[in-house]
Amino acid sequence: MIAKKPSYKKEVTILVQKKKNNSSKKLFFILVMLIFIFLGIVGRLFYIMRVKSPNYKSLALKQWTNDFEIPARRGRILDRNGMEIAVSMNAYRVDLDMVTLKDSLLNKKMTMDQLAAKLSPILNMPTDKISAVFNRTTPTGTPIKFAILSRGIDKPQVDKINELKIKGLIISSDSKRYYPNNNFLASVLGYVNLEGKGVSGVELNYDKELSGIPGRTTFEADRNSTQLPYGNSDYKAPVNGKDIVLTIDENIQSIAEKAAQKALTDNKAKSVTITVMDPKTGEILAMVSKPDFDPNNPGKDSKGNAVKSIDDTVKNIAVQSAFEPGSIFKVITSYAAIKENVANENSTFYCNGSLKVDGHTINCWDLNGHGTETFGDIIKNSCNVGFMKLGQQLGKGRLGYYVSLFGFGQKTGIDLPGESIGIIKNPDKLNNVDLSSLAFGQGLSVTAVQYLSALNSVANGGTWIRPHIMKQITHADENNNPVVDKTFNNFGKKEILDANSVSTLKGYLEKVVSLPTGVGHNAFIDGYHIAGKTGTAQKANPKGGGYEADKYFSSFAGMAPVDDPKITLLVSVDEPDPSNYYAAQVSAPVAKDLFSEIFNYMIMKGQLSLNKTGN
């Protein structure tokens, strides 16, 4: 049987059909792919045009829109008589348009580091600090497009920058803080940083009121940051800061400044602090700490020398530092003894130069002893032994109560930053040695404003009142007339003392400043009726364990005229020459000069009349 041969024509037909089928599958696959690609493109376009449109629009706007903050002019700081002690002057600022700047440097074949080196001497900024601004990035790591390089520069500096002919360095108007009297009232005023924000003192505490509200300007610009003539623009004017009127009297402050500097030099002291207040209002009339600094150049002291620590240099000692008061604290113990009927004019004490308490011998400042004394004598003589006996009679509960009543161990709430609270031991934990030391002012620490607030309550007849530095907050209306926005009213007044007991105490304190035997007689001025108390305290060892050898804190606290005090003051000299450290020789003479000059000024102003027979 012969096999049939396959048909050639049929095989060709089958092959052709297979090719057609394969081609159809390929075309279908290609068509599906094209459809997916098309849908992908449409989806991507939809995503870009609808979902991401706001972001891309925002990026585009940023490329052709310049948006700058217009700083508000910082308010002035004035003394109570309207004298300007901190003002803002016209100046300039340098901002960076980094896109334009990079293009300009590329055309000039200059690097960022080279530009930083050229700008450094002009702006008085370290090269690395300028470079750090150039290389600043956003939190996501993206290079910044705009930045502030420097503020408060002068016209000569602007001219030198323009001479570089670098595009992207944008010069605009600004203001610069200026203190006309240099280091005058420096520790109270504080200073502002390069961004114009308060760093310390009044500048910090009232920064919100002084700063005002910045404005903004927005405009469309070309690639060189030049405003397009027909582009969209927007302008919001700044609201200038308000003025702060202080309670400070420039004339009394000047007297205190000179007295503090003289005391610092004469006594070769570490520092001197003087505070003068109105006891009836709590107003601070003068407050000075020496050595000080120039707020126009806060990195340097008043002599122009670079400081080791700017924080220590600008510290307001009267508010931020606590000290052991020593014998000026005997005013508190004396009041407690009078009010509690522990002592009166008939009480007697015997001092042989020391007192043994629970096996510990505690000396009087006069090692020879004062002998037999009355209550008035132990105050006039500042006898430690007499006061230790008073403390023991009062007991830790009652003495502790009066320590708290006068406000020690508590912030006064003064309107200045960084107030220290001081250190007061819990009365329940006092042993007899602690109690005896507390009675004459050792074993605790207080601030100058705490102590003067307590003394004010004695001077004014029994009312505690908050010390404060702000008198008014004002602004100028459209006609440049002052408008009062706020007057200080947070006095915190409270009646804490008995008027009769206070009157008795003031009589004793006047005898302290009496000739020839009062321990504070070096502050005596005939006819001024000064009442006060000296205080000499050893300085506690900061490392713990007793007191430092030959380091003292010498103070004088006083009021005058005693029947109706117009001023209270506290003079504190930290670490006077150890060869002459007693407050009677160190601080009392300073107080005498202060009372004399301040009262001469007040008499001239008609604020006070004095004669040798009374107030």
Active-site annotation, residues = 327
Q: What angle do CA 217, 218, 219 make, to 5 degrees?
A: 125
d(CA 277, CA 466) in angstroms, rounded, equals 11
Q: How many CB atoms lie within 10 A of CB 271?
A: 18
d(CA 187, CA 194) in angstroms, rounded, equals 19
Q: How many CB atoms lie within 10 A of CB 525?
A: 16
The torsion of the CA quartet 218, 222, 227, 231, rounded to 10 degrees, works out to: -70
Q: What angle do CA 87, 90, 91 make, to 5 degrees?
A: 115
d(CA 278, CA 452) in angstroms, rounded, equals 10
**Cα R_g (the chain), whole angstroms:** 38
Query: 111 with 105: CB under 8 angstroms?
Result: yes
| DSSP codes joined into one string, 333-364 | HHHHHHHTTS--TT-EEEESSEEEETTEEEE-
Query: 212 with 325: CB under 8 angstroms?
Result: no
SS3 for 463?
strand
Residue 580 DSSP symbol: S
d(CA 147, CA 132) in angstroms, rounded, equals 11
Tell me the sheet residues that pair with 244. Answer: 77, 473
| Residue in this structure with the two tokens 């002084």, named with its chain if needed | 210
d(CA 303, CA 212) in angstroms, rounded, equals 33
Closest to 365 measured CA to CA, from 375, 357, 355, 374: 355
Query: 117 with 127: CB under 8 angstroms?
Result: yes
SS3 for 505?
helix
d(CA 374, CA 363) in angstroms, rounded, equals 19
**104 token code pair:** 């300009």
SS3 for 387?
helix
Closest to 61 measured CA to CA, from 232, 217, 201, 247: 232
